[in-house]
Chains A and B, each alone.
Chain A
Amino acid sequence: MTVDTLRFATAGSVDDGKSTLVGRLLHDSKSVLTDQLEAVEHASRNRGQDAPDLALLTDGLRAEREQGITIDVAYRYFATPRRRFILADTPGHVQYTRNMVTGASTAELTIILVDARNGVVEQTRRHAAVAALLQVPWVVLAVNKMDLVDYEQQRFEEIVEDFAGHAAELGLPGFTPVPVSALVGDNVVERSAHMDWYEGPALLEFLETVPVGTEAADAPARFPVQYVIRDGEVRYYAGQLASGSLRVGDRVTVHPSGETTEITGIDVLGTAQQVAYAPQSISVRLADERDVSRGDMITAGASPTLTRTITANACHLADRPLRIGDRVLVRHTTRTVRAIVKDLAGAAELTTNDLARITLHTADPLTLDDYTTCRRTGAFILIDPADGATLTAGMAVVDSAG
Chain B
Amino acid sequence: MSAAAEGASGGFVLSHLDALESEAVHIFREVAGEFERPVILFSGGKDSILMLHLALKAFAPAAIPFSLLHVDTGHNFPEVLEYRDRVVAAHGLRLHVASVQDYIDRGVLRERPDGTRNPLQTLPLTEKIQAERFDAVFGGGRRDEEKARAKERVFSLRDEFSQWDPRRQRPELWNLYNGRHAPGEHVRVFPLSNWTELDVWQYIARERIELPQIYYAHHREVFRRGGMWLTAGEWGGPRDGEAVEKRQVRYRTVGDMSCTGAVDSDADTIDKVIAEIAASRLTERGATRADDRLSEAAMEDRKREGYF
Contacts and interface: CB of A to CB of B under 8 A. Distances in A.
Interface in B49-106: 57-62
Given A34-B282, A98-B171, A376-B175, A230 B151 contact: no
A77 B151 contact: no
B289 to A, nearest CB: 11
A105 B166 CA distance: 20
A205 to B, nearest CB: 16
Interface in B141-159: 143-144, 146-151, 157
B173 A245 contact: no
B interface majority secondary structure: loop
A102 B144 contact: no
Interface in A26-45: 33-36, 39, 43
B13 A212 contact: yes
A268 to B, nearest CB: 6
A102 B169 CA distance: 12
Interface string A76-99: 110100001010000000000011
Interface stretch (A123-131, A192-200, A255-263, A386-394): A386-394
Nearest to A277: B12
A71 B167 contact: yes
Given A277-B4, A379-B174, A226 B29 contact: yes
B300 A388 contact: no
A152 interface: no
B150 A75 contact: yes
Interface stretch (B126-134, B177-185, B249-257): B177-185
Contacts of A118: none
Interface in A363-402: 375-376, 379-381, 383, 387-390, 393
Interface residues on A, range: 35 or more
Given A214-B7, A281-B21, A33 B283 contact: yes
A4 B270 CA distance: 22
B296 interface: yes
B62 A2 contact: no
B297 A62 contact: yes
B182 A387 contact: yes
Contact of A229 (B14, B62, B148): B62
A247 to B, nearest CB: 13
Nearest to B13: A213
A73 B26 contact: no
Interface string B259-276: 000000000000000000
B22 A280 contact: yes
A281 B29 CA distance: 10
A150 interface: no
A106 B19 CA distance: 13
Interface in B270-308: 280-283, 286-287, 296-297, 300-301
A33 B283 CA distance: 6
A253 interface: no
A102 B172 CA distance: 6
Given A75-B143, A376-B175, A227 B1 contact: no
Central interface residue in A75, A99, A214, A230, by most chain B CB within 10 Å: A75
A250 interface: no
Contacts of A77: 143-144, 194, 196
Contact of A280 (B4, B5, B144, B151): B4
A127 B217 CA distance: 50
Contacts of A59: 147
B54 to A, nearest CB: 9
Given A3-B15, A74-B150, A375-B174, A388 B194 contact: no
Contacts of A269: 1, 21-22, 25, 57-58, 60
Contacts of A79: 196, 198
Contacts of A383: 178, 180
A62 B62 contact: no
B166 A389 contact: no
B14 A4 contact: yes
Nearest to A99: B171
B283 A75 contact: no
B18 interface: yes
Given A106-B175, A213-B9, A280-B22, 5 more contacts: A71-B166, A74-B147, A240-B29, A379-B174, A387-B182
User: What 8 pairs across the A-B complex have the smallest Cβ distances?
Assistant: A388-B180, A35-B286, A60-B147, A213-B13, A211-B8, A213-B7, A281-B25, A105-B173
20 contacts: A33-B286, A60-B147, A60-B148, A61-B297, A79-B196, A102-B173, A105-B174, A211-B7, A212-B8, A227-B32, A239-B26, A269-B21, A270-B1, A277-B14, A281-B25, A331-B176, A376-B175, A379-B173, A388-B180, A388-B181
